[in-house]
C-alpha cells in the first residue's frame, strides 16, 4: 500500500512540475487534485441529486436561469473576442501554431483567454445542478454528464501545459457556439411565450456537430503535418471528438429524426 501511495505521489509531482510556469499560480491550475475533487463532487451531485429531489417539488429557478444564461452569453462573447483578436494580432496560423511560452503581452493574453475558457467549463457544471433542482432528469443523459465532466479535465490540461498555440482554434469555435447556445437557453428561460421564436433548436444541435467535425479535421491534419505541437494532444482531441460526434449524432437522431418518424 505504501509503495502504491509513493507511486501516486511521484506521478502527481511529475504532473505539477512539468507544467507551464506562467499559468501555475492561477486558480485551479497548479495541481489536478482540486479539479479531481470538483469532478467527484459533480458525480456525487448527479447520483444523489435526483434521489433527494424525488419527493420534492421542482424549484422555480426562472430569475436565476435568466441571469445565468445571459451572463454566460456575455462570458462567451468576451472569450470569443479574446481568442479571435489575440490570435489575429499574433498572426496565428490555423494550420500549425506552436505554443509561445514567453511572458510577452500577447502570449500572456492568449494564456489568460485559455484559463477563462477552462474556468467557464467549471461554471458550466451548474447546468447539471439546475436540471436536478428543476427535476428535468430526462436531460441528465450520459452525453450531458460525460461532456460536462470530461471538459474540465481536458481544459485543465490545456491551461497547465498548452495555454495557447493551436488550442485557440477550439476556443474560437466553441465560444462562438456557446454564444448562440446560451442565447437560446436564456430566451427559453423567459417563459413559454418565447417558444414560437425558438424553432431553431434543431439547428443548434447541428451547429454543435459541425464544430466537432471541424475539430476532428483540424487535429487530424496536424497528426500528419510537421508542426511543433504535441501529437499526443492532437491524438487525444481527435479521439475525444470522435466520441462526441457519435453521442451528439445519436442525440440528433433520437430527438429529431426518430421522433419525426414516430409522428
Residue 242 included in any domain: yes
CA gap 173, 178 in Å, rounded: 9
Which burial class, exposed, middle or buried, applies to 16 when counting CB atoms under 10 A from its CB (0-12, 13-18, 19+)? middle
Residue 17 lies in a domain: no
Q: Is residue 6 assigned to a domain?
A: no
pLDDT of residue 259: 65
Per-residue model confidence (pLDDT) at position 261: 60
pLDDT at 10: 83
Residue 20 lies in a domain: no
Q: Is residue 14 part of a domain?
A: no
Q: Which positions are catalytic?
A: 147
Residue numbers of the domain that contains 177: 26-262
Ranges of residues in the chain whose predicted pLDDT is under 70: 1-2, 259-263
Other beta carbons less than 10 A from residue 88's beta carbon: 9
Going by C-alpha positions, the residue among 168, 111, 72, 37 that lies closest to residue 28 is: 37
The three state secondary structure string of the chain is CHHHHHHHHHHHHHHHHCCCCCCCCCCCCCCCHHHHHHHHHHHHHHHHHHHHHCCCCCCCCHHHHHHHHHHHHHHHHHHHHHHHHHHHHCCCCCCCCCCCCCCCHHHHHHHHHHHHHHHHHHHCCHHHHHHHHCCCHHHCCHHHHHHHHHHHHHHHHHHHHCCCCCHHHHHHHHHHHHHHHHHHHHHHHCCHHHHHHCCCHHHHHHHHHHHHHHHHHHHHHHHHCCCCCCHHHHHHHHHHHHHHHHHHHHHHHHHHHHHHHHC
> Residue 7: inside a domain, yes or no?
no
Closest CA to 71 of 29, 27, 111, 126: 126
Residue 179 lies in a domain: yes
161 inside domain: yes
Q: What's the structural domain count of the chain?
A: 1
CA distance 51 to 60: 18
Amino acid at each position: 500500500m505504501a509503495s502504491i501511495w509513493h507511486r501516486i505521489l511521484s506521478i502527481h509531482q511529475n504532473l505539477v512540475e512539468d507544467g507551464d510556469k506562467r499559468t501555475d499560480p492561477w486558480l485551479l491550475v497548479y495541481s489536478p487534485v482540486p479539479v479531481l475533487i470538483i469532478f467527484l463532487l459533480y458525480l456525487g451531485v448527479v447520483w444523489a441529486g435526483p434521489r433527494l429531489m424525488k419527493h420534492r417539488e421542482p424549484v422555480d429557478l426562472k430569475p436565476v436561469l435568466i441571469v445565468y444564461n445571459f451572463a454566460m452569453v456575455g462570458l462567451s462573447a468576451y472569450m470569443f473576442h479574446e481568442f479571435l483578436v489575440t490570435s489575429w494580432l499574433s498572426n496565428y496560423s490555423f494550420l500549425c501554431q506552436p505554443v509561445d511560452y514567453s511572458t510577452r503581452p500577447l502570449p500572456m493574453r492568449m494564456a489568460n483567454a485559455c484559463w477563462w475558457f477552462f474556468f467557464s467549463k467549471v461554471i458550466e457544471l451548474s447546468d447539471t445542478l439546475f436540471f436536478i433542482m428543476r427535476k428535468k432528469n430526462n436531460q441528465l443523459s450520459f452525453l450531458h454528464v460525460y461532456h460536462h465532466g470530461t471538459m474540465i479535465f481536458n481544459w485543465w490540461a490545456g491551461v497547465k501545459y498548452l495555454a495557447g498555440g493551436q488550442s485557440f482554434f477550439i476556443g474560437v469555435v466553441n465560444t462562438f457556439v456557446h454564444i448562440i447556445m446560451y442565447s437560446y437557453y436564456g430566451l427559453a428561460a423567459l417563459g413559454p411565450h418565447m417558444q414560437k421564436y425558438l424553432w431553431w433548436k434543431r439547428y443548434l444541435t447541428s451547429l454543435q456537430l459541425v464544430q466537432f467535425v471541424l475539430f476532428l479535421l483540424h487535429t487530424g491534419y496536424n497528426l500528419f503535418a510537421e508542426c511543433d505541437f504535441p501529437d499526443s494532444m492532437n491524438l487525444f482531441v481527435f479521439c475525444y471528438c470522435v466520441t462526441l460526434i457519435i453521442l451528439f449524432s445519436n442525440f440528433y437522431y433520437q430527438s429529431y429524426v426518430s421522433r419525426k418518424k414516430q409522428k
